[in-house]
Chains A and B, each alone.
Chain A
Amino acid sequence: MKGQRPILPPRWATRFLYWYCRPELVEDLDGDLAEYFDRNCGTKGPRRAKFIYVLDVVKFCRPYTIRKPKPLHPLIHWLMLGNYIKTSSRNLVRNKLFSAINISGLAISMTVGLLLIGVLSDILSYDQFHKNYHRIYRVVSEYEFLKKKDMSLMATTSTKAGQLIRNEFATPEAVAIIRRNFDGDVTYNNKTLPLDGFWANQDLFKVFSFELAKGNPETALRDAFSVVLTESAAKKLFGDDEALGKSITYNNDKSYTVTGILKDIPKFSHIHFEMLGSLPTREVLYKDSKDEMKWDNIWSTWVYLLLPEGTDPNSLQPELVKLSEREDPTVENTHIGLQLQALGDIMISPDMNNQIGDVMGVSSLWIFGSLAFVVILSASFNYTNLSIARSLRRTREVGIRKVVGALRSQVRNQFIVEAVLISCCALLIALVLYVIVKPVFLSFNPDLQALYQLDLSPKNLGLFIAFALLLGIVTGFFPALFFSKVNTIDVLKDGATFRLSRKLTARKVLIVFQYCISIILITSTAIVYQQYRHYIAFDLGFSTENIINVPLQGNKADLLKKDIEELPEVVDVSQSQMVTSIGNYWISRVKSPEHPEDSAGVAYNVVDEKYLPLHNHQLLAGRNFQARTGKFEESEVIVNVEVLKRFQVAGGDPQKAIDQVLKIDGKEVRIIGVMKDFSYGRANDKASDRTIMFRYNNEGLDELNIKVASTDLLATRNKLEAIWKKHDSVHPYEGKFYSEQLELAFAELKAAIKIAGVLAFLAITIASMGLLGMVVFTTETRLKEVSIRKVMGASVHGLLFLLGKGFLSLLGIATLISLPLTILFFEQVAFPELSNHAPLSITDMLLGVGVVLVIALAMILSQTFKAAQTNPAEVLKNE
């Protein structure tokens, strides 16, 4: 037997026995089992013996062997809680610097967390006021033309699909159909108001819980030419008069009867409107329109289904597929696929076009969420780092506690309580910061203002407190684990020799991580800002300088134009249907007569004869439009070279393309000019998509383009506004400088930069505070060494280098990791998605890194310099 290892029963089973069994019984039981095990080993072999052992351990699990919970324990915990809080608060006060760093770092990061919680809780409370919230689904469409699928889904579908589902499907209890474009001027008793709204059918009130203050929800939207107003809209139009049953005029055309007054739409509704026109009206108005009920007219109608309780929305999918198969042949080369989307998914839906209102979008949620998480993580690291760094002092306290009889779990609890205490202090500061930061955050982007309230409601407060407790527990977890494992004898024998080196690498990794995050955030912000500047100043291919675009809002252009032209500073005025390069697209189907089966959408703008020279559009060949008067048949078009290439006109040669013919929406028109390329949609559009044309018209153009030459642009603006007021008392003046509009087109990017910038700033602050804490700690512990070195004749800069070099190398490592990561991300992931981007500028990135490093260096130098300057006699005289 000698030298042979004895066969032992499985360790885990023994541990399990010790875990569940009463302490007074366990030794005997364990011995018995061991005896049996030995016996079985001899007779039945070790494997079977082990099996029997495990079986017996389980069998011993009987009521009389199982450990009873001790009634004393919780009481002790409660009693000790007071003690924990007392020692923790003493500790907080004793180490003012560390406490300040911990609390303020946590408070700052917590503010970000609170904003995130506020945003999430706002988003999740959207549409909750609908009684049938869980049973409402929206029909969304995917569009496929010539087997080419659109990248993203449409939140809209066709009116036809809505009507067919409503009439033919058995499952839905009600089908609400909402169509856009019931917005315009409403007149009652010579009082005119512009109002926003939709067309909707009578099922709207069955599906949604929009409450009618007056009127019958069954019939309010049933008949043609009925309109439902919200209370505030009715108040604006009718004042205190009774509105129900009155007749109002819409867009100076038809008159509608008010059949219902709606309570105002709650803020947290994804649909907002001031009035609803009855959908049957459209059946009268657009009886002869071919487009109205076309299967592929999927851009203007939202359809919502109310499914019976407990219906699986997927069970409708086969029916929807069948509907698509049946209706696809009614349109050429097109496939429309239909899907259902739950009401609760709308606010955080994946990127979808044609939303009915503003939505958060799942990608921005993820980005914001992960950035917030990183910042909070960074602050927690500070806490972990600093607590473990200070552990030299605290370990003795822990040692004494253990000697007196504290259990490991009690030490753990103590440090978790301490962390929770700190995070509660941080919460108080964070709440104040939250109130201050909230309006700033919301003003980053008008969309944010529209979407969120971020109220300090009781529900949110509860969430905040829960968040603070959770954060406390999480941040306190590692220090607690560390302290509870402290070996009592080691600590008390000689505190000074207690070695911390084991934990040192982990702490270095944490510092490097924090600095990586800071550098990545700040360089990314710098890069995105550079892109923004690049797009704002992008050479669009035409001139936008000193041009003011004024939407006519239904006014007659001629009179207004005449008045404006009289202003001395106005150089010229042109008209167009829309403003290009700010994110709008008007698209028509174009064919070449030579290839009749091949058609494609071409972006266009309808302009007058002055538009091209006013905007400095360059013609490569041919001529500009000529002014025409009266009614005329469209016969001329100006295209860019991409159009020639796309339709293989004259081999792409501008000179030869003149007088060639194209078919636009079925009408034959002659190419009279070929222009230089320009950015039609936005500066970041792909060049290959740029098939553009100009069409001519002398009426129905909604924008005035006013070119001014003035030194005092503000005064000119005011003069224009005065003229506008003279002509239109109903609508506010909405003229904007072209440059302003270009910036607005990138408002999202601007908001993103602001948010990223703030987060980068926070990350740097937190990392710097953490670094400061570490430097203070290191220099304090090495003060004696420094003094002795000084006595021996070390120079101040030598000492600076000695103390600082460790941190410098950490910063160096962080830079070396994060810079390539950032460059890789932008070159490989972000830029391929982005056309016309500016090249990565290394100087901008280095500037970002430089800022971070200079702050860090200032932290290090200030402390090390202090240490190097101390009088060695002061330090050493106590020895």
Chain B
Amino acid sequence: MKGTNLGEFEELVLLTVAALIDDAYSVAICDELERHSKRPVKLGAVHAVLNRLEDKGLLKSKLGEATNVRGGKRKRFYTVTVPGKTALVKARELREDLWNRIPSFALKAIAS
């Protein structure tokens, strides 16, 4: 099983969901991602990833209340589950691990 390994886009989406807290539904996630990454994000792609993450158990969702925007259709709000949080932490640890192994001089050239 692919298990909890996260792809790059998956990680971004998961982080955005975590960041948006109570307002994490597809369109909002999409906008947020677009704003931060400065690249066009397709709604369809976000949907697919949300669906996949939910399948993996990293996200859970519930339908919100109907409002009179969106043609009266309810929003589906996502929250990060415990395994989701673990996966995020793991990914971050892995990265930090790798960062720490890089000698400081090696990056100097790039930084300057």
Q: Which residues of A contact B (CB under 8 A)?
A: 8, 25, 27-32, 34-36, 38, 56, 59-60, 62, 64
Task: Assess whether B48 is in contact with A28, with CB atoms less than 8 Å apart.
Answer: no
Q: Mask for B6-47, Cβ within 8 A of A = 1, else 0?
A: 000000000000000000011100000000000000111001
Task: Assess whether A60 is in contact with B44, with CB atoms less than 8 Å apart.
Answer: yes
Closest 7 interchain pairs by CB?
Answer: A31-B73, A31-B70, A28-B76, A34-B71, A34-B70, A35-B70, A59-B44
Q: Restricting to B53-71, which residues have a CB under 8 Å from any CB of A?
A: 63, 69-71
CA distance A874 to B9 in the complex (A): 83
B74 interface contact, C-beta 8 A: yes
CA distance A59 to B42 in the complex (A): 10
CB-CB under 8 A for A28 and B75, given A35-B27, A35-B70, A64-B51: yes
CA distance A359 to B48 in the complex (A): 67
A28 and chain B: residue at smallest CB distance: B76
CB-CB under 8 A for A35 and B69, given A27-B74, A28-B76, A64-B51: yes
CA distance A28 to B44 in the complex (A): 12
**Of the residues A27, A59, A60, contact of B73 by C-beta under 8 Å:** A27
**Of the residues A8, A28, A59, contact of B74 by C-beta under 8 Å:** A28
Task: Assess whether B44 is in contact with A62, with CB atoms less than 8 Å apart.
Answer: yes
Task: Assess whether A36 is in contact with B47, with CB atoms less than 8 Å apart.
Answer: no
Task: Assess whether B44 is in contact with A31, with CB atoms less than 8 Å apart.
Answer: no
CA distance A62 to B52 in the complex (A): 12
CA distance A36 to B73 in the complex (A): 13
Task: Assess whether B73 is in contact with A34, with CB atoms less than 8 Å apart.
Answer: yes
Q: What residues on A are CB-neighbors of B52 within 8 Å? A: 64
CB-CB under 8 A for A31 and B48, given A36-B27, A56-B43: no
Task: Assess whether B74 is in contact with A31, with CB atoms less than 8 Å apart.
Answer: yes
Task: Assess whether B43 is in contact with A28, with CB atoms less than 8 Å apart.
Answer: no
Q: What residues on A are CB-neighbors of B71 within 8 Å? A: 8, 30-31, 34
Q: What residues on B are CB-neighbors of A27 within 8 Å? A: 63, 73-74
Q: What residues on B are CB-neighbors of A8 within 8 Å? A: 71
Q: What residues on A are CB-neighbors of B25 within 8 Å? A: 28
**Closest approach, in angstroms, between the C-beta of B50 and any C-beta of chain A?**
10
CB-CB under 8 A for A32 and B74, given A56-B43, A62-B48, A64-B48: no
**Closest approach, in angstroms, between the C-beta of A367 and any C-beta of chain B?**
59
A34 and chain B: residue at smallest CB distance: B71
Given contacts A32-B26, A34-B70, 8 further A-B contacts (CB under 8 A): A28-B25, A28-B26, A32-B43, A34-B71, A34-B73, A35-B69, A36-B27, A64-B52
CB-CB under 8 A for A60 and B47, given A28-B63, A28-B75, A36-B27: yes
CA distance A361 to B104 in the complex (A): 99
B50 and chain A: residue at smallest CB distance: A28
Task: Assess whether A31 is in contact with B75, with CB atoms less than 8 Å apart.
Answer: yes
B74 and chain A: residue at smallest CB distance: A27
CA distance A434 to B52 in the complex (A): 64
The contact sample of 6 A-B pairs, CB cut-off 8 A, is A27-B63, A31-B73, A34-B73, A56-B44, A60-B47, A64-B48
Q: What residues on A are CB-neighbors of B70 within 8 Å? A: 31-32, 34-35, 38
Q: What residues on B are CB-neighbors of A60 within 8 Å? A: 44, 47
Q: What is the size, in residues, of chain B's interface with A at 8 Å between Cβ atoms? A: 18
**Closest approach, in angstroms, between the C-beta of B47 and any C-beta of chain A?**
7
**Closest approach, in angstroms, between the C-beta of A10 and any C-beta of chain B?**
13
CA distance A38 to B42 in the complex (A): 17
Q: What residues on B are CB-neighbors of A35 within 8 Å? A: 27, 69-70
Residue picked from A29, A35, A62, most chain B C-beta under 10 Å: A35
CA distance A731 to B42 in the complex (A): 95
Q: Restricting to B65-107, which residues have a CB under 8 Å from any CB of A?
A: 69-71, 73-76
Q: What residues on B are CB-neighbors of A32 within 8 Å? A: 26-27, 43, 47, 70
CA distance A188 to B62 in the complex (A): 102
CA distance A56 to B45 in the complex (A): 11
**Closest approach, in angstroms, between the C-beta of B44 and any C-beta of chain A?**
5
Q: What residues on A are CB-neighbors of B75 within 8 Å? A: 28, 31
CA distance A34 to B70 in the complex (A): 5
CA distance A60 to B47 in the complex (A): 9
Q: What residues on B are CB-neighbors of A56 within 8 Å? A: 43-44
Q: What residues on A are CB-neighbors of B26 within 8 Å? A: 28, 32
Residue picked from B47, B51, B69, most chain A C-beta under 10 Å: B47
A29 and chain B: residue at smallest CB distance: B47
CA distance A64 to B47 in the complex (A): 10
Residue picked from A8, A31, A32, most chain B C-beta under 10 Å: A31
CA distance A807 to B100 in the complex (A): 99
A27 and chain B: residue at smallest CB distance: B73
Q: What residues on B are CB-neighbors of A31 within 8 Å? A: 70-71, 73-75
CA distance A36 to B41 in the complex (A): 13
CA distance A29 to B25 in the complex (A): 11
Q: What residues on A are CB-neighbors of B43 within 8 Å? A: 32, 36, 56
CA distance A30 to B73 in the complex (A): 7
A25 and chain B: residue at smallest CB distance: B51
CA distance A30 to B26 in the complex (A): 12
CA distance A35 to B64 in the complex (A): 15
CA distance A30 to B76 in the complex (A): 11
**Closest approach, in angstroms, between the C-beta of A749 and any C-beta of chain B?**
71
CA distance A64 to B27 in the complex (A): 19
CA distance A30 to B42 in the complex (A): 16
Q: What residues on A are CB-neighbors of B48 within 8 Å? A: 62, 64
A63 and chain B: residue at smallest CB distance: B48
Q: What residues on B are CB-neighbors of A25 within 8 Å? A: 51
Q: What residues on A are CB-neighbors of B73 within 8 Å? A: 27-28, 30-31, 34
**Closest approach, in angstroms, between the C-beta of A295 and any C-beta of chain B?**
76
CA distance A333 to B47 in the complex (A): 83
CA distance A8 to B44 in the complex (A): 21
CA distance A253 to B71 in the complex (A): 101
**Closest approach, in angstroms, between the C-beta of B53 and any C-beta of chain A?**
12
CA distance A31 to B64 in the complex (A): 12
A31 and chain B: residue at smallest CB distance: B73
CA distance A8 to B47 in the complex (A): 23
CA distance A38 to B63 in the complex (A): 21
**Closest approach, in angstroms, between the C-beta of A37 and any C-beta of chain B?**
9
Residue picked from B27, B48, B51, B70, most chain A C-beta under 10 Å: B70
CA distance A36 to B46 in the complex (A): 14
CA distance A849 to B27 in the complex (A): 74
**Closest approach, in angstroms, between the C-beta of B104 and any C-beta of chain A?**
45
**Closest approach, in angstroms, between the C-beta of A190 and any C-beta of chain B?**
98
CA distance A32 to B29 in the complex (A): 11
CA distance A27 to B74 in the complex (A): 7
A14 and chain B: residue at smallest CB distance: B71
Residue picked from B42, B48, B71, B76, most chain A C-beta under 10 Å: B71
Q: What residues on B are CB-neighbors of A30 within 8 Å? A: 71, 73
CA distance A8 to B25 in the complex (A): 22
Q: What residues on B are CB-neighbors of A64 within 8 Å? A: 48, 51-52
**Closest approach, in angstroms, between the C-beta of A199 and any C-beta of chain B?**
79
